[in-house]
Homo-oligomer: A and B are copies of this chain.
Amino acid sequence: MTQNQPPTIDDVAKVAGVSTATISRAINDPDKVAKATRDRINAAIDELGYTPHFGARAMASSRFKTVGAVIPTMANAMFASGMQAFQEALSEAGVTMLVATTGYDPEAELRQIRALMTQGASGLMLIGTERPEATRRFLNLRNVPHVLTWAAGPADEGVFAGFDNRRAAKSMAEHVLAMGHRKIAMIAGISAGNDRVAERIAGVRAAIEACDGAELVALAESPYLLQNAGDAFDEVWAAKPTAIIGGSDVLGAGAVVRARARGVSVPGDVSVTGFDDIGLSLVSAPALTTLRVPQIEMGRAAAEILLAQLAGGTPKSAIFETEIVERASLAPPRS
């Protein structure tokens, strides 16, 4: 079972008895070749199992595009359906997606960006706004079309397909305050090098500061894992909050699980909220009051923006609204 050389356009040309140019036309612009010839060519392609060589194509023409996405990790449902939508939209446009992950390491992002560009990515989808100076410089130097997602910002920071994390978190905190809670705790993600987390924290702080008598009694930062969220629950619970705002559904759900294990009733003893509205929030018991992030719309918009940029346009940011999804984990505090 030796791996034979992939067939080239020359092989197809030989079998079909035409020139390579005709093969190329039959593939890229079928109308320009006679039906009979086309049929012969297609037969030859099938017989040989020919697939054009992307490298050669990319080199000979600039029509063939690839885009890259650099995300923290695929193992977080927070990005899953957005990425799926992104890739579907690209696929419809005949553009392939390359994915690379950083594991939430900001230094890793530039390496991955370079790797993707080497691979032929002519556009990039990046998460968030905050990045090391070296990364900004590179992006700027090479002037790579790129779209920023899962966040929002002023136009001079780039083109976004996302939402305002601070405003969203603020609205959630206001909602919690409106229920009568005054002693609030927050379990956030790790804020270092993660602007989305930092913004969510800032939003919660802003709402609390604006509310008389309200206080952020505890703030824990935790990786986006159920287990860690449980530990964070233990930590903030010591401060006796009446409500815990989770920086993500994983964090909220993890807190609920640990609360249950500790015999702390939700929302009886403490209310808990989530963020993102992934499946986890529905399965949690009680179901998590959370904030819906329009992942699918965002992913699709990111693809459209990138495609428009690649086509030479200068599309505007698409900023989405988030909405609070009321479920059972948030209730007024015990009086």
Contacts and interface: CB of A to CB of B under 8 A. Distances in A.
Interface in A206-225: none
Given A54-B55, A73-B84, A75-B81, A49 B142 contact: yes
Given A75-B80, A87-B100, 9 more contacts: A4-B143, A49-B142, A54-B118, A55-B56, A55-B57, A75-B83, A226-B279, A253-B283, A256-B283
A250 B80 CA distance: 15
Contact of A80 (B2, B6, B54, B80): B80
Interface string A24-58: 00000000000000000000000011011111111
Copies in the complex: 2
6 contacts: A48-B141, A88-B101, A96-B119, A97-B98, A226-B282, A280-B280
B75 A3 contact: no
A58 B53 CA distance: 9
A101 to B, nearest CB: 6
Interface in A108-140: 114-120, 138
Given A84-B75, A119-B66, A49 B283 contact: no
Contacts of A141: 48-49
A117 to B, nearest CB: 5
A139 B30 CA distance: 26
Contact of A142 (B6, B87, B97): B6
Interface residues of A, number: 64
Contact of A51 (B103, B114, B254): B114
A145 to B, nearest CB: 7
Contact of A285 (B4, B254, B285): B285
A260 B76 CA distance: 27
Interface of A: 1-4, 6, 48-49, 51-59, 66, 73-77, 80-81, 83-84, 87-88, 91, 96-101, 103, 114-120, 138, 141-145, 226, 250, 253-254, 256-257, 260, 279-280, 282-285, 287, 314
A59 B3 CA distance: 17
Q: Determine which residue in A55, A98, A254 has the highest number of CB atoms from chain B within 10 A of its CB, and name it.
A: A55
Contact of A100 (B66, B96, B117, B118): B96
A91 to B, nearest CB: 7
A101 B74 CA distance: 14
A210 B98 CA distance: 47
A142 B66 CA distance: 23
Nearest to A55: B55
Nearest to A141: B49
B66 A74 contact: no
A246 to B, nearest CB: 12
B53 A59 contact: yes
A93 B215 CA distance: 50
